[in-house]
Amino acid sequence: MVVLVQASVLTVGLNGRNEVLRELPIQLITMQSGVEAARSLKNEKVDSVISNWDLDDMKNGRFLKRLRAVKPHIPTIAFVRAGDRAQEIAARSLGVSAVLTDDTDDKFFRETVANVLGLKGITSIKTIAPAEKSRYGK
């Protein structure tokens, strides 16, 4: 069965954490800086954004605040520091689709993304090894 890409997702500042999303039928656009991500939003069609609350170049949720001001209807997931109630409250007050902590396990992260994007019923994409030749050479 062939599964087509269902959404284009921009991840910002996840430092490789986004690799667990490769099983979902999404196109990943990966950025590390808020400035770079903001520029890409002008040129790329993006269906959803997943971002750390604190980025190296944009602290205190500045990137997410700007994103929500410009594109308020885009599904957005914020990663906040575990145990940091102020970050969690600030992210939730922006109206993001989901808030996860940086200690969230991979399975829950993947499930949350699938739910936010409406992909809950779609099976994960698994890498399938090419079929081995049979003993009859076919």
Question: Each residue of 11-34: pLDDT tens digit?
Answer: 999 988 888 998 888 999 999 999
At 38-54, the pLDDT tens digits run 999 988 899 999 999 99
The pLDDT of residue 10 is 95
Neighbouring C-beta atoms of residue 100, cutoff 10 Å: 20
10 beta partners: 29, 49
DSSP E strands in the chain: the ranges are 7-12, 26-31, 48-52, 76-80, 98-101
Listed residue (84, 86, 44, 90) closest to 68, CA to CA: 90
Close Cβ partners of 5 (under 8 Å, ≥ 6 residues apart): 25, 26, 27
User: What are the structural domain ranges in the chain?
Assistant: 7-116
Residue with the bigger pLDDT between 25 and 130: it is 25
Residue 134's SS3 state is coil
The pLDDT of residue 116 is 92
At 51-97, the pLDDT tens digits run 999 999 999 999 999 999 999 999 999 999 999 999 999 999 999 99
DSSP element (H, E) containing 24: none
Fold designation for 7-116: Rossmann fold (3.40.50)
Alpha helix stretches (DSSP H) within the chain: 34-43, 62-70, 85-94, 106-116
The pLDDT of residue 127 is 42
Q: What pTM does this model have?
A: 0.83
* Euclidean distance between CA atoms 103 and 80, whole angstroms: 9
Query: What is the β-pairing status of strands 26-31 and 48-52?
Result: unpaired
Which tokens hold the place of 35?
A: 């400035």
Per the CB < 8 A criterion, the answer to whether 16 and 39 are in contact is no
pLDDT at 110 over 80: yes
